[in-house]
Amino acid sequence: MAGAAISSPLGLSISSGIRSPKPISSLSHSSSRLVISALPTPYGDSLKAGLPSKAFGFPLKNNHKDSIGLDQRCEEGESKNPPIMPFVMTPGGPLDLSSVLFRNRIIFIGQPVNAQVAQRVISQLVTLAAIDETSDILMYLNCPGGSTYSILAIYDTMSWIKPKVGTVAFGVVASQGALLLAGGEKGMRYAMPNTRIMIHQPQTGCGGHVEDVRRQVNEAMEARHKIDSMYAAFTGQPLEKVQQYTERDRFLSVSEALEFGLLDGVLETEY
């Protein structure tokens, strides 16, 4: 069962509980959680580490063509916000790390989710699904939350496309960012051991005319009921228990999140 839940992009294989010096993965079961050894890093001291050039059918080439719009992005970075993913210099020229992750079917969300972030993530999901409908997608989350509408738009796309979308949490996954974590493919929802996860009811700021405030409150109440129902479906918990957990900010360790049903496994690291 555990072997079927772990898909190819995660680069995991079932083995004995003895740690090997090579970056292979192992599974060990305990009464409370499933622990999985650390995933191989997608980039390291060399471009060969974790980045096979034939992975998922994407050729990995290190030249200026890989950095689409490099000069334009660098110029914009001087006067505007820096790019989400940095460029690094390699012997073959500048390399856009977001392109490397995209070739390996990895999507990274490391900021609050607004309409712009949601558009980028949705575009990546749809593009990867169009390229290959059979290979899974992995989404790394270090997300403090964001717009409920934008989060739901990403989730709708995750559940609509044919490839399975696994989620990996690290750092902090809070507010509706936790909804994306829990909404990943069952059996493919993971977290690093030091991750903190926080769930709560949607927040809103009402203003304007009295009738407008009433409508905004009704919209917020409907959003809370919908999100609580989604958490109940993702975790298998009763709706009443979910409502108790989301009544106020509820901070969870990975073991607590695993027990609650937000996760399927914990990635093992040294500490």
Does 200 participate in catalysis according to the annotation?
yes
Give CA–CA dist 65/209, Å, rounded. Answer: 54
Q: Of 30, 53, 200, 229, which one is the catalytic site residue? A: 200
Q: Of 32, 46, 175, 229, which one is the catalytic site residue? A: 175
Q: Which of 85, 83, 116, 120 lies closest to 100, judged by CA? A: 85
Catalytic residues: 175, 200
